[in-house]
Structures are given as structure tokens and as C-alpha cells.
């Protein structure tokens, strides 16, 4: 995935960029870092940028685009990249389009994190006030005054990019005032809809993270699980005993019934024999009496 994140200072671009890097295995390209790296490496474009920076001038767009061109050809940018701090103007966006077209690369998404500027200023004012109450040092570039200037600069230079990419059907807007995790989920849903695929390595890492989380379960949770598992064998034993008892009944029942039947028959037979024997005795007595007469 090749992505541009747009949004004013304080909109959370840096946080979301890092999460995208971890999730999709892509690289975050910051123009400032790329310039410093090119100068340190002594590349032709880097040497050119060094001369301009040494004289106090602003590095022109063609030099910045040249540095980006060298950077996205490196192996770690093979799976994609997130551009941070570039483009800032419409001419830079046009130069980037030409570069990507020349390399046969496609820009997959331009994501705007839309925020409420008044809310951003209130956040900064609250944070600065809390830091001063605690006696902490406040950074010179982290004050409401500086933020106001940076927001004005963003509106004048960078906001026209929203219209530029909207016309080219590349722009997607997300509410940057949501909680950080909600913004992350919204970006993820958007990228999935655009055909993004998470690398398998990330899936394995995610699985390992779940395993580590399970391993760190508290003692109470473990004890509860042990108690639950200890109860299961007892229930199983009771069920087994009931099953054996039922099976025994199924076998012994017919046997008992058969024995009762045999006993009844024997009793009837004995009774018949007794009746016959009694009749014979009675007959003999009658015969004897007649003989005496």
C-alpha cells in the first residue's frame, strides 16, 4: 500500500502512521529524515540539498522529489510506504504523481484526518497549563500561539490538496476527533475495502502477542480457571456413575423379572401337586371306609 496521510498539526498523523507501519509492514517516509539521510550518505541529490541548506535556502521541490525517488527504490519500501510531510502543496502533489507514474507505481489512498481546530487549540492550552502547574518545561513549539500559526500555514498551503485528491477520487476522510483506537479501526476498514492485505508475519506476531497476554494472566484468573477445570472431572464422574447405574438396571431388570416368573410358576406347580396329593388321600380314606362295611 502507498498512502498519504493529510491533516493539520495535532491531528494524530504520526501515531496512525506508526500503527500502519506495524500492521502492514510498510515504511514511513519523512521528508526531513530522508533529506538528512541523503546528505549523510553523500548521494548526488543529497549533496545538492546540502549546498542549498548550508546557504539557508529552502530545498526546492525537484530536489525533494529526487530524494523520494531514491528512497522508494530501496528494498524496505517494496511492500509500500506512507508519506509524512509530503506533499505539502499542489505543485508537489503533481510532481509526486509524475514520479509514481514514471516508476509504474499506484497511489492507493490519501487519508484526511479531519479535526476541529478549536478543539485542538483547547487541548494544547489545557496541556500547557497542566505542565506549568506541575513545574514542567514547555517546549517552544508546543504552545497555542505556535499551533495557531501552523494551522494557518496548513490552511493556506496544504488544505488545497484535499480538493486536488478529491477530484482524482483518491481522498477518504476520517473523523480525527475520535479516540485513537477508533481512528485506527476506521483506517483499517478503509484500507481493507481498497484491497489491503496484512502480511502473514503480522498475523503470526499478533498470535504471539495473544499468547503472551494469556501467559500474563493474573493469579486470580488462573485460580478461577483451575477451579473450573477441577470441577469438570467431578461432574464427569457423577455422570459416569449414573450411566453405570442405568446400564446395570437395564441388565438386572429383565433377570429379576425372569426369576419372579420362574418362582411363580414353581409355586403354582407345588400348589397343584399339593391339591392332587390331598385328593388322592381323601379318595383312599373313602375306599377304606367302604371296604370295612
Asked if the bond preceding 169 is cis, omega within 30° of 0, the reply is no
Grid cell of 231 as nine digits: 470441577
Question: Residue 189: exposed, middle, or buried by beta-carbon count in 10 A (0-12, 13-18, 19+)?
Answer: exposed
The phi-psi region of residue 43 (left if phi > 0; otherwise alpha if psi is between -120 and 50; otherwise beta) is beta
User: What separation in angstroms does the CA of 253 have from each of 42, 74, 241, 246, 249?
Assistant: 97, 84, 18, 10, 5
User: What separation in angstroms does the CA of 291 have from each of 202, 284, 286, 287?
Assistant: 121, 11, 9, 6
Q: Which residues pair with 113 in a beta bridge?
A: 174
Picking from 176, 182, 162, the residue whose alpha carbon sits closest to that of residue 119 is 176
Grid cell of 93 as nine digits: 502533489
Grid cell of 276 as nine digits: 392332587
| SS3 state at 176 | coil
| Helices within the chain (DSSP H only) | 13-24, 31-41, 44-54, 61-72, 90-102, 117-133, 144-153, 160-167, 180-193, 200-215, 219-292
DSSP symbol at 60: P
List the catalytic residues. Answer: 13, 88, 127, 139, 150
Amino acid at each position: 500500500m502507498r498512502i498519504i496521510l493529510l491533516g493539520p498539526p495535532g491531528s494524530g498523523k504520526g501515531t496512525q502512521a506508526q500503527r500502519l507501519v506495524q500492521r502492514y509492514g510498510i515504511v514511513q517516509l519523512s521528508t526531513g529524515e530522508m533529506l538528512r539521510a541523503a546528505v549523510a550518505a553523500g548521494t548526488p541529490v543529497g549533496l545538492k540539498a546540502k549546498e542549498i541548506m548550508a546557504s539557508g535556502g529552502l530545498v526546492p521541490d525537484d530536489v525533494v522529489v529526487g530524494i523520494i525517488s531514491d528512497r522508494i527504490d530501496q528494498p524496505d519500501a517494496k511492500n509500500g510506504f506512507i508519506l509524512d510531510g509530503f506533499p505539502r502543496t499542489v505543485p508537489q502533489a503533481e510532481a509526486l504523481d509524475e514520479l509514481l507514474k514514471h516508476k509504474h507505481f499506484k497511489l492507493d489512498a490519501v487519508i484526511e484526518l479531519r479535526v476541529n481546530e478549536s478543539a485542538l487549540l483547547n487541548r494544547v492550552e489545557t496541556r500547557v497549563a497542566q505542565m506549568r502547574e506541575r513545574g514542567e518545561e514547555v517546549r517552544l513549539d508546543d504552545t497555542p500561539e505556535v499551533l495557531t500559526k501552523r494551522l494557518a500555514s496548513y490552511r493556506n498551503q496544504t488544505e488545497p490538496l484535499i480538493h486536488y485528491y478529491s477530484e482524482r477520487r483518491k481522498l477518504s476522510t476520517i473523523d480525527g476527533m475520535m479516540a485513537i483506537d477508533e481512528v485506527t479501526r476506521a483506517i483499517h476498514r478503509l484500507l481493507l475495502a481498497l484491497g489491503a492485505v496484512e502480511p502473514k508475519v503480522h498475523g503470526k506476531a499478533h498470535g504471539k502477542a495473544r499468547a503472551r497476554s494469556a501467559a500474563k494472566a493474573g493469579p486470580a484468573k488462573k485460580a478461577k480457571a483451575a477451579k473450573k477445570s477441577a470441577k469438570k472431572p467431578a461432574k464427569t464422574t457423577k455422570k459416569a456413575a449414573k450411566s453405570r447405574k442405568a446400564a446395570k438396571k437395564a441388565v438386572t431388570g429383565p433377570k429379576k423379572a425372569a426369576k419372579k416368573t420362574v418362582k411363580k410358576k414353581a409355586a403354582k406347580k407345588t400348589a397343584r401337586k399339593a391339591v392332587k396329593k390331598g385328593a388322592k388321600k381323601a379318595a383312599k380314606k373313602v375306599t377304606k371306609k367302604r371296604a370295612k362295611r
